C-alpha cells in the first residue's frame, strides 16, 4: 500500500518582503508634521472612492543615466525634495519602506489659504518601484506607483496612478480643475527629478484615461472623513483660535 502523497508547502513569493502587512488602522512614525490626520484611519484605494475612476501615467526619459536602480534609490532617499513648493511630504523614520505611513501637507490651489493634511501608506517597495495607497479622508482614493526602468540605453522614470475622488465635494473640485492641477503636480515633480540627475530639457509624456465614468453612491458617506471639509473648517476658525489665544495669554 502506497503512503499518502507528501504535500510540499507553497513557496513564498520572491517579493513577499516588499509588501506591507495588512493593518486595520494606520499609524505613523513621522516627526515634525503640523497635523496628523491619518493615525487611526483605514487605508482606502480606488475601490472605495466615490467619483469617476482615472488612470494617469506620467513618464520622462533621462539623459545619460544608465542605472534605473540607482535612480530609484536616489528618488526614495530624496523624495520630498522633488515635490512642488505648494506641498510638503513628511517621510516616516524608516523612509519609504513597506508598511510605513508618511504625512502630507499641501495647498489644493497654489496661493490658497486652505491647506490639506493627510498622508499615504507604502503598500509596496523594492529596488525598482514603490506604491502608495491613500487613507480615508484623502482627496483621492488611489494607488500611486513610482517606478524606474531601462529602455535600451535610456532610464525612464514613471508615475502611474489609479484614482477616484473620495467624496462628492472632491469630485466636484476635480471636475472644476482639480484633475488638471493633479496632473500638473506630477509633471512638475518628474521635471524637477529629471533636472536633478542632469536632463537639461525634460519632456514629460502624460496619458490620462477615464476608465470608469460611474460614480459610486454607496460611498457618499466618505464625506464624514473628508480632509477637504476638515481643512476648510480649520481655516475658517483660525481667526477665532487666534483671538482665543490672545485672551488666554492676557489671563
The pTM of the full predicted model, rounded to 2 decimals, is 0.86
Whether residue 12 is predicted with pLDDT greater than 80 in this model: the reply is no
9 has pLDDT over 60: no
pLDDT bin (cut points 50, 70, 90) of residue 54 is: very high
**Each residue of 186-227: pLDDT tens digit?**
999 999 999 999 999 999 999 999 999 999 999 999 998 887
Give all strands of the β-sheet with 129-133 in edge-to-edge order: 87-90, 101-106, 116-125, 129-133, 140-151, 154-165, 53-61, 204-212
Residue 150 neighbours by CB distance under 10 Å:
15
Q: For 137, phi and psi rounded to 5 degrees?
A: 95, -20
Q: What is the mean pLDDT of the chain?
A: 88
Q: Domains in the chain, ordered, with CATH?
A: 29-215 (3.30.530.20)
Question: Crossing angle of helices 238-250/227-236, nearest 10°?
Answer: 50
Q: Residues with Cβ < 8 Å from 35, sequence gap 6 or more?
A: 103, 105, 117
Amino acid at each position: 500500500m502506497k503512503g499518502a502523497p507528501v504535500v510540499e508547502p507553497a513557496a513564498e513569493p520572491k517579493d513577499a518582503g516588499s509588501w506591507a502587512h495588512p493593518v486595520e488602522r494606520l499609524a505613523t512614525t513621522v516627526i515634525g508634521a503640523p497635523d496628523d490626520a491619518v493615525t487611526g484611519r483605514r487605508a482606502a484605494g480606488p475601490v472605495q472612492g466615490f467619483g469617476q475612476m482615472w488612470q494617469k501615467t506620467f513618464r520622462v526619459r533621462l539623459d545619460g543615466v544608465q542605472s534605473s536602480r540607482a535612480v530609484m534609490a536616489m528618488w526614495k532617499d530624496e523624495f520630498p525634495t522633488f515635490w512642488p513648493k505648494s506641498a510638503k511630504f513628511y517621510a516616516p523614520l524608516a523612509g519609504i519602506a513597506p508598511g510605513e505611513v508618511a504625512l502630507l501637507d499641501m495647498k489644493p490651489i497654489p496661493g490658497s489659504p486652505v491647506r490639506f493634511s493627510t498622508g499615504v501608506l507604502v503598500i509596496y517597495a523594492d529596488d525598482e518601484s514603490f506604491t502608495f495607497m491613500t487613507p480615508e479622508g484623502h482627496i483621492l482614493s488611489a494607488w500611486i506607483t513610482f517606478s524606474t526602468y531601462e529602455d535600451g540605453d535610456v532610464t525612464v522614470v514613471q508615475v502611474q496612478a489609479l484614482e477616484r475622488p473620495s467624496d462628492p465635494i472632491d469630485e466636484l473640485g476635480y471636475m472644476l480643475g482639480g484633475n488638471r492641477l493633479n496632473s500638473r503636480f506630477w509633471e512638475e515633480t518628474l521635471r524637477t527629478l529629471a533636472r536633478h540627475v542632469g536632463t537639461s530639457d525634460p519632456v514629460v509624456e502624460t496619458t490620462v484615461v477615464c476608465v470608469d465614468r460611474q460614480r459610486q453612491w454607496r460611498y457618499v458617506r466618505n464625506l464624514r472623513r473628508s480632509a477637504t471639509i476638515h481643512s476648510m473648517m480649520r481655516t475658517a476658525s483660525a481667526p477665532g483660535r487666534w483671538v482665543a489665544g490672545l485672551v488666554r495669554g492676557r489671563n
